[in-house]
A and B are shown apart, each in its own frame.
Chain A
């Protein structure tokens, strides 16, 4: 299963970006092989509107099954939810810490957006 983390960095030790739609990248980790890839989200960082919608489609195309991020707005959540991507909110400092929390069952599956659009 592939799990995506919102981030501004390029490695598992990079900070987890609390924003979803306007994070500059997603680190996608294959939980079985422990290999990771980066998805560039730079186009959404400067989008006039709909950054979260655009970012969510990137995850759909990358065949991601779960997302760990700080917060998610209603439109992005709708796309993720419709595509069957599980969303987990975390306030961990780094991707590695967020992953540990995920593996230890400390992150709970969210049932909806936790912020309004354009919150950050």
Chain B
């Protein structure tokens, strides 16, 4: 599905990982914070809409918000004859046909619209149903956008789409993805210009990193790695990156002070300024890997 954000020089760089807890939020919030100081195009997006937590570190009042709706079926029970074609069709069990009526469970619906198409009695129309909220904040000069899905909603991708559609044209969006390789991660990563995969040098880190690598190769999105907590485990992640030709753009050491600053809800680029340079270099390397950036720069140079 096309998003509204593919326009005019917008660049999307996602920070993702197969394994939860490897440091996506640590790295994406600090990266956005440092990058914004030199580049006014930077915005931070929290696409982990089931559990957005970037705002714990990039703190600011919500300035604007909007409700995200999704289409779900509504049954005209005067026309429904209980044929059960719709509920048999629904792969998500969001419809239950009784003798001469049909019940809808909107929170299970994935908005495919199939039920309305297959109904032989024209008894189904699609209506809007709220599934979550997109929230915009300003943290100093940095604009942040996140989404939060309503409790009980099983399909989170419409909220992720809405977050991505809120990217202002011409931005460089840094997207904090949800962990894993399932639908929420795919929805976040599929049309990105570049992905930074965060991993850690542990057996779990390696296993889930390999799954992410397979996913990104399937999606044909270019990517590189960043290894967090270096020193905690072994060399297998490094060895794997080398054997697969995956560039490691940056590393963070297994430094207890990072965990302490993070656990207080602070940015390490503020609490431990010696790490600022890591993020400044990282941002420059990421931009270099987005071909559109070169085009955008040429364009802006041409009009100056």
Binding site for B on A (CB under 8 A): 47-51, 53-54, 56-57, 60-61, 75, 78-79, 82-83
13 further A-B contacts with Cβ under 8 Å, apart from A49-B154, A53-B93, A79-B103, are A49-B92, A49-B108, A50-B92, A53-B94, A53-B105, A56-B96, A57-B84, A57-B96, A57-B97, A57-B98, A60-B97, A60-B99, A61-B84
Which residue of chain A has the shortest Cβ distance to B97 in the bound complex?
Answer: A57
Which of B84, B87, B94, B103 meets A82, CB within 8 Å?
Answer: B103
Minimum distance in angstroms from A70 CB to a CB of chain B: 21
A104 nearest CB across to chain B (Å): 31
Q: Please determine whether A82 and B92 come into contact, CB atoms closer than 8 angstroms.
A: no
**Are A79 and B93 in contact, with the CB atoms below 8 A?**
no
CA separation between A53 and B101, bound complex, in Å? 14
Q: Tell whether, in the assembled complex, residue A51 and residue B98 are in contact, meaning their CB atoms are under 8 Å apart.
A: no
Bound complex: CA of A56 vs CA of B103, how far in Å? 12
Determine the distance from Cα of A78 to Cα of B102 in the docked complex, in whole angstroms: 12
CB distance from B29 to the nearest CB of A (A): 32
Q: Which residues of B contact A83 (CB under 8 A)?
A: 98-99
Q: How far is the CB of A76 from chain B (nearest CB, A)?
A: 9
Interface of A is mostly: helix
- Those of B150-197 within 8 Å (CB) of chain A: 154
What's the Cα separation between A56 and B105 when bound, in Å?
A: 14
Is A49 touching B93 in the complex (CB atoms < 8 A)? yes
Query: Of residues B92, B93, B97, which shows the largest number of chain A Cβ atoms within 10 Å of its Cβ?
Result: B93
Decide if A75 touches B99 in the complex (CB within 8 Å). no
The answer, among A47, A48, A49, A53, for a CB contact under 8 Å with B96, is A53
Residues of B within 8 A of A (CB): 84, 87, 92-94, 96-99, 101, 103, 105, 108, 154
A76 nearest CB neighbor, chain B only: B96
- What are the residues of chain A within 8 A of B108 when measuring CB–CB? 49-50, 53, 75
Task: Please give me the residue from chain A that is nearest to B155 by CB atom.
Answer: A49
Cβ distance B67 to chain A, nearest Cβ, rounded Å = 24
In the assembled complex, the CB of A45 is this many whole angstroms from the nearest CB of chain B, namely: 13
Q: 14 A-B residue contacts at CB 8 Å?
A: A47-B93, A49-B93, A50-B92, A50-B94, A50-B108, A53-B96, A53-B105, A53-B108, A57-B84, A57-B87, A60-B99, A61-B84, A79-B98, A83-B98
The answer to whether B98 touches A60, judged by C-beta atoms less than 8 angstroms apart, is yes
Chain B contacts for A79, CB-based, 8 A: 96, 98, 103
Given A57-B84, A57-B87, CB of A50 within 8 Å of CB of B98: no
Question: What is the chain A residue whose CB lies nearest that of B154?
Answer: A49
A82 to chain B, nearest CB (A): 6
Give A53 to B108 CA distance when docked, in angstroms: 11
Closest-CB distance, B103 to chain A (whole angstroms)? 6
A105 to chain B, nearest CB (A): 28
- Tell me whether A50 and B103 are in contact (CB under 8 A): no
Contacts A57-B84, A79-B98, A83-B98 given; does A51 touch B103 at CB 8 Å: no
Is there contact, CB below 8 Å, between A82 and B105?
Answer: no
Q: How far is the CB of A94 from chain B (nearest CB, A)?
A: 29
CB pair A50–B99 under 8 Å, yes or no, is no
Q: How far is the CA of A46 from the CA of B130 in the complex (A)?
A: 28
